[in-house]
Structure 1
Amino acid sequence: MWRRSRALGTGVLLAGAALRGVLASPWAAGLRRTNFRGRTVTLAAGPALAAGAAVGGALGAPSRPAGAAALVAGLSCGAVGLYDDVVGARPEQKTAKGFAGHLAALRQGRVTSGIVKIAGVGAAGLAAAALLAADPTVRAHPGRRRPYRRAGRRQARSGPVAGTLDVLLGAGVIAGTANLVNLLDLRPGRALKAGLLLGAPLLPGPTGGLAAGPVGAAAALLPADLDERVMLGDSGANALGALLGVALAARTGPVGRAGALAVIAALTAASEKVSFTQVIQNTRGLRELDALGRRHS
């Protein structure tokens, strides 16, 4: 309990302090953007969330390898997301849209900021999943909420193929969740609300501290996001999703990870065909939740 409380408090306090620090920095002017309603907002919330959520998650982790996984996932995804936020705003970068557009540009010999982000998020997910796999105390026995300390011996008996598959599934969950939260960052507060809803069920149990850091940071920045003073951008949305992916991967085995990855993949594929914003607007309950707390003028 104390570990979760420490992580939650750190996420809240550090995200707020980091936001003030970014706003006071010399490069704050370069983070100003125009949102969907034509208002001038700042992307400063992105690096602020990445810092607060990653450090909070690391402090709440049940072990050093799990804490390292949180730092790697949160800070790396936040950094490459910030790179895409800044470099991707340049005119020559705007021609590539979506995953297919970035791949097409790569085939033409152009390395876009989006490709850098995709590669960086994937590498961070793989590194974080490998750190989790190296720590038997973070793996949960199916159906229980306490660490399963013999998981390392079980994995050793299952062979390197099963261990590699587990790492790849974990990497897919971490990177996929990072991308999925980013897909929701189209309206004020939407990605943060999704992060809170996803993070809350991950708080119980020995790995709950990993989720407490990002939950605290998201809660701290939500009022400013809803008021359209800040926005997460790729930096904050990718970091939030990646850290929640770490928390999810840490409490599930191969079957759970495979199931989570299937859901993430299905939602990601659906986003290529339908507009999440349109679905939310046409669905009672989702529409009210999405608009809750948001300014109307």
Structure 2
Amino acid sequence: MQVLPIALSAVAAAAVAPGLRQGLVDGGHTVKNYRGAELACPLGIILVAAIALTLGALQAIDSFGWHGDGLFFVVSPVFVLGVAALGLFDDAYSGPSRGWRGHGAAVRRGEFPSGLLKAVGTVGLAAYAIQLPPYPETGNLAALDIGPYIVADPDSHTAPYLLSVVVLVLSTNLFNIIDLRPGRAAKGLLFVVIGCTIAVGTELLDAFGVYLGAIAVVAVYDLRERGMLGDTGANLLGAVAGLMLVTSITSTLGLALCAAVLLAITAYGEFRSISAFVERTPGLRHLDSVGRIHNPRKDASA
């Protein structure tokens, strides 16, 4: 496994995080969390900045030949940074409508809410991200050797393509839904990382290290209530999770099952409270609370 992308990403995030977070507070960019504390938001801009800096550094290293182990490849940075940008727009201009039902009601009133724009943009970016590799013999994990191309089944393109797009869109949206408590979205991504790594091996992490290093740093800020991810950060985490899933799943049936699970959780979140479900489920309640502070201060500069 290549350590440099993860290390550079983490260092970049640690370097820019204090200043960007304080800038959010000084600029009045704070929101109330679930217990009424005013926190800096969105911390997702730290992720965007750190990932961009890391991509530039890795490109420079590749260009000057300073890395002897071969080129660095990153899976679909356009999708990851693109959905983060859509989330930033939603953080800045979101209206009262929430969820698919709320957006539908807004459209019937002749409105076009920022959340719907985010959803439509995510579909477009997902359709762009799932590209067939240029060589027919290259598929699935082998696609990591040629850059940001993903394909689940090179022998039958249509169903895997459409299902992969669905998985990306649902995953991105789902992480917005679950990001209602400190550290919950990061813990969800951690389970995806562990599962995909067990399934296909640590070589999968080579193409995602640029994201994971920065996410690990910002997750600490989120978990310790030093700020909130916002749609910017939640979108980004959901995009990374979706990309890991579609890159790891090796069959059309697997993609269909994954899409079905994501759709079921999303539908549940539309009509019921995921937080309430977590609170009344002992194992999930314990995992959800791990790492949180016990006596948090209620100010944005904490």
Contact kept, 8 Å, 1:196 with 1:218, in 2: the verdict is: no
Residues 1:213 and 2:213 are matched in the alignment: no
Q: Partners of 1:99 and 1:64 in 2: how far apart?
A: 41
Q: Contact conserved, 2:31 with 2:41, CA < 8 A, in 1? A: yes
Change (3 A) 1:294 1:81: same
Q: How does 1:146-165 map to 2 (within 5 A)?
A: 155=154, 158=155, 162-165=156-159
Alignment CA distance shift 1:28-1:242 (3 Å): farther
- Tell me the equivalent position of 2:12: 14
Q: 2:256 aligns with which of 238, 258, 262?
A: 258
Distance 2:192 2:178 in 1: 13
Deviation at 1:70, TM superposition (A): 2.4
Question: Aligned residue for 2:66?
Answer: none
Correspondences of 1:68-107 after superposition (within 5 Å): 69-88=75-94, 93-94=95-96, 96-107=97-108
Asked whether the 8 Å contact 1:72–1:128 carries over to 2, the reply is yes
Contact 2:192–2:244, Cα closer than 8 Å, also in 1 = no
**1:227 and 2:228 aligned:** no
Higher helix share: 1
Letter in 1 for 2:83: C
Following superposition, the deviation at residue 36 of structure 1 comes to 1.6
- Residues 216-295 of structure 1 aligned to structure 2 (within 5 Å): 216-253=213-250, 254-295=252-293
**Cα shift at 1:106:** 1.9
Going from structure 1 to structure 2, the CA distance change for 1:285 and 1:165 (only over 3 Å counts) comes to: same
Report the alpha carbon displacement of residue 23 of structure 1 after superposing the two structures with TM.
3.2
1:29 aligned to 15, 24, 27, which one?
Answer: 27
Amino acid at match of 1:126: A
RMSD: 3.3
Equivalence for 1:118: 119
Q: CA deviation at 1:114?
A: 0.6
Map Cα deviations across residues 174-221 of structure 1 (whole Å, 9 max, x no partner). Answer: 111111111111011111111112112334243332343333222212
Distance apart, 1:290 and its partner CA: 0.9
For 1:197, the equivalent position in structure 2 comes to 191
Deviation at 1:138, TM superposition (A): 5.2
Distance 1:171 1:64, change over 3 A: farther
- C-alpha displacement of 1:81: 0.4
Compare 196-205 and 176-185 and name the one that shifted more: 196-205
1:19 partner SS: helix
Query: Which secondary structure does the structure 2 equivalent of 1:240 belong to?
Result: helix
What is the TM-score with the length of structure 2 in the denominator?
A: 0.79
State the distance in 1 between where 2:134 and 2:289 align: 42
- Closer, same or farther in 2 for the Cα pair 1:207/1:134, shift >3 Å? farther
Q: Share of identical aligned residues, percent?
A: 32
In structure 2, C-alpha distance between the alignment counterparts of 1:259 and 1:64, rounded to whole Å: 34
- Give distance in 1, aligned partners of 2:72 and 2:253: 22
What is the identity, as a one-letter code, of the residue corresponding to 1:180?
Answer: L
* C-alpha separation in 2, matches of 1:201 and 1:282: 25
TM-score (norm 1): 0.80
